């Protein structure tokens, strides 16, 4: 039982441990020796799995069945995981196949750079990094956490993503599959980062950092490089209307480039668009390629519960994902990425509504067109780009009119 005096977070953790114990050991027994013996068996299995992961850092485990890997007798018991998010729910093997499709596609033309801990310094004090835990955490998501550091040779600030893997397994064999799938996902994301590194719409990639079980990806920090302050799209600095329209253009051109490489982003949202000042204006930079897939082998959501679908319909869950992906369980597509672009444009109309400019209203209208329920009725990214170009001319003309009016006013004085 969970003590009512615990915090909510500790209660959840204690309940997870209790649930996992019951799944692995079965109903609680009065025989303490039997429980201790079972716990020792589970510990031995976990140690073996960790040793295998370290022995095969590339994820290429010997081909064995789950029962052979764990040394356990075959069992027909399957306990489904509960999902509280609207990410495509797949088994570890299905996830791995989507990621390996991208890896296979990019392998002939992409070779990732590598880093070691000695290449890093702490961001604030410039100390040598002896342990990865010395680095300051600046963000956390469903697939891992992000820390900030500096590159020893250049002093460039780096954002380093450390992938995480679930500790909630139906069996120890499932844990091994999860480790392999996590490794494949991190490898895929690193290769996509390397592919897009030279583009102004994506962060510069500095290399992978192998920590054994975790394969981290280091990219140049996007934001204020002196203070380490990031500017996500939903928390922007003060911007002119012309700059707002240019940011919208950056996002669209970035997604056009993404698709030209045969890739789908599948997770485009306000959190995954950062702003950085380059020269006289702020630019948009698209991040987080953990859900990326090839256009030819896209993922799809499965086993989405009725409760989650109802929450989605009422705007309570992941409204940046296209309805056909959530409600009809269709695979993601270029059209679903266009829907996500539309959600961002629509949100920009609200975020920058204080400008009271026709360009803001037009951005909202364009976003609504992109979010049409029927994927066939959504405009192409080329069409969206041409519409935004017209908005740029409109914003520029309004600036000229204000400048002329100001000059005339001063002349009258």
Binding-site entries for ATP: 161
> Token digits for 236?
């922007």
Torsion of CA 99, 46, 143, 14, to 10 degrees: 150
What distance in Å separates the CA atoms of residue 371 and residue 366, rounded to the nearest whole number?
9
Nearest in space to 352 (alpha carbons), one of 222, 201, 202, 248: 248
| Helix/strand number for the chain, H first, E second | 11, 12
**Does residue 59 come out as left (phi exceeding 0), alpha (psi in the -120 to 50 range) or beta?**
left
What distance in Å separates the CA atoms of residue 94 and residue 377, rounded to the nearest whole number?
30
Contact 158, 219 (CB under 8 A): yes
Q: Give binding residues as ranges.
A: 161
Residue 145 β-bridge partners = 140, 162
What's CA 243's distance to the chain center, in Å?
25
Give per-residue burial for 368-407: e unless 16+ CB within 10 Å, then b.
ebbbbeebeebbebeebbebbeebbebbeeeeeeeeeeee
């Amino acid at each position: 039982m969970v003590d009512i005096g615990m915090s909510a977070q500790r209660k959840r953790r204690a309940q997870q441990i209790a649930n996992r114990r019951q799944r692995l050991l079965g109903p609680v027994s009065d025989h303490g020796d039997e429980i201790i013996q079972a716990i020792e068996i589970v510990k031995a299995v976990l140690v073996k799995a960790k040793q295998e992961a370290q022995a095969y850092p590339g994820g290429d485990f010997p081909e064995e069945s789950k029962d052979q890997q764990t040394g356990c007798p075959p069992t027909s018991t399957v306990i489904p995981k509960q999902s509280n998010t609207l990410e495509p729910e797949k088994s570890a093997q299905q996830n791995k196949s989507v990621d390996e499709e991208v890896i296979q596609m990019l392998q002939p033309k992409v070779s990732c750079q590598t880093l070691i801990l000695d290449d890093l310094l702490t961001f604030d004090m410039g100390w040598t990094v002896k342990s990865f835990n010395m680095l300051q955490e600046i963000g956390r998501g469903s697939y891992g956490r992000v820390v900030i550091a500096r590159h020893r040779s250049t002093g460039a600030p780096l954002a380093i993503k450390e992938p995480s893997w679930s500790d909630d397994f139906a069996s120890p064999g499932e844990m091994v599959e999860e480790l392999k799938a996590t490794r494949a996902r991190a490898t895929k994301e690193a290769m996509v980062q390397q592919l897009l590194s030279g583009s102004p719409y994506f962060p510069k990639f500095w290399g992978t950092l192998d920590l054994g079980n975790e394969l981290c990806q280091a990219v140049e920090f996007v934001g204020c490089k002196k203070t380490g302050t990031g500017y996500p799209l939903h928390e922007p600095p003060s911007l002119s209307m012309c700059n707002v329209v240019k940011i919208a253009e950056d996002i669209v051109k970035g997604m056009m480039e993404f698709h030209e490489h045969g890739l789908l982003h599948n997770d485009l949202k306000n959190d995954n668009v950062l702003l950085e000042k380059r020269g006289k204006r702020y630019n948009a930079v698209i991040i987080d390629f953990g859900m990326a897939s090839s256009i030819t082998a896209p993922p799809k959501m499965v086993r989405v519960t009725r409760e989650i679908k109802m929450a989605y319909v009422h705007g309570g869950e992941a409204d940046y994902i296209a309805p056909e992906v959530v409600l009809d369980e269709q695979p993601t597509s270029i059209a679903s990425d266009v829907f996500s672009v539309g959600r961002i444009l629509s949100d920009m109309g609200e975020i920058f509504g204080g400008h009271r400019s026709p360009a803001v209203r037009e951005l909202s209208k364009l976003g609504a067109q992109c979010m049409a329920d029927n994927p066939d009725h959504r405009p192409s990214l080329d069409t969206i780009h041409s519409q935004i170009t017209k908005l740029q001319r409109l914003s520029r003309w309004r600036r000229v009119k204000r400048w002329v009016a100001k000059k005339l006013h001063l002349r009258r004085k």
